[in-house]
Amino acid sequence: MTKQELIDLLNEDLKHEFHHMHSYLHASTLVTGLHRHEIAELLLEEAKSELEHCHQFAQLIVHLGGTPVTSGHPIDELKSVTWKTHPINILEDAMAMEDVVAARYSERLRQTEGHENPETSYVHVFYEEQIADSWKTAREFQLMLKKHA
Ligand SMILES: [Fe+2]
Ligand SMILES: [Fe+2]
């Protein structure tokens, strides 16, 4: 893969990372119910973790000689985490969002597995770390949502 192709892929994913950050930030303010404080804190932590991802993607794009995008897909546009307020609905949407991300990064791993040059190898390793984070987050939400008999 050429540097420009890598930069384009990373910028597309950076837009999604901005979207995730905004979604968690937004949901953390809207959540209602008896466990509001605890869930709001968890969602704010996730927003901070997404901010860190945004920084990681943007820094890598700069390292590759590109220019990072500065904003993401609007929340309303993708409808991954919508304007819900019930913790269960928020966590269900968040789990679905993280699983979509994990699937996208799985595709990125396939796209970069040729290791044609050091840049492609580095981006491959980068996506390995990103997929680990999204997949684990989705599984944590899944455990929170698990119903006990
Ligand atoms: Fe992320
Ligand atoms: Fe995430």
Q: How far is the CA of 42 from the centre of ligand 2 (A)?
A: 12
CA–centroid distance, 64 to ligand 2, in Å, is: 23
Check which CATH number belongs to the domain holding 40 and give it: 1.20.1260.10
Per the structure, how many domains does the chain have? 1
Tokens in use for 81? 């985490």
Please give the distance, rounded to the nearest whole angstrom, from the Cα atom of residue 46 to the centre of ligand 2: 7
Q: Give Cβ neighbours of residue 139 (< 8 Å, ≥ 6 apart).
A: none
Q: How far is the CA of 127 from the centre of ligand 2 (A)?
A: 13
Supply angle C-alpha 147, 19, 137, rounded to 5: 35
Of 60, 75, 68, the residue nearest 27 (C-alpha): 75
- pLDDT score recorded for residue 147: 78
Span from the CA of 134 to the centroid of ligand 1 (angstroms): 6
Domain span including residue 105: 3-145
Query: Ligand 2: distance of its center to the CA of 48 in Å?
Result: 10
Q: What integer pLDDT is reported at residue 73 of this predicted model? A: 79
Kindly list the averaged pLDDT for each block of 10 residues, start to end, along the chain of length 149. 96 96 93 96 98 98 97 68 81 94 97 93 97 96 87
Quote the pLDDT of residue 65: 98
CA neighbor of 100 nearest in space, from 66, 73, 71: 73
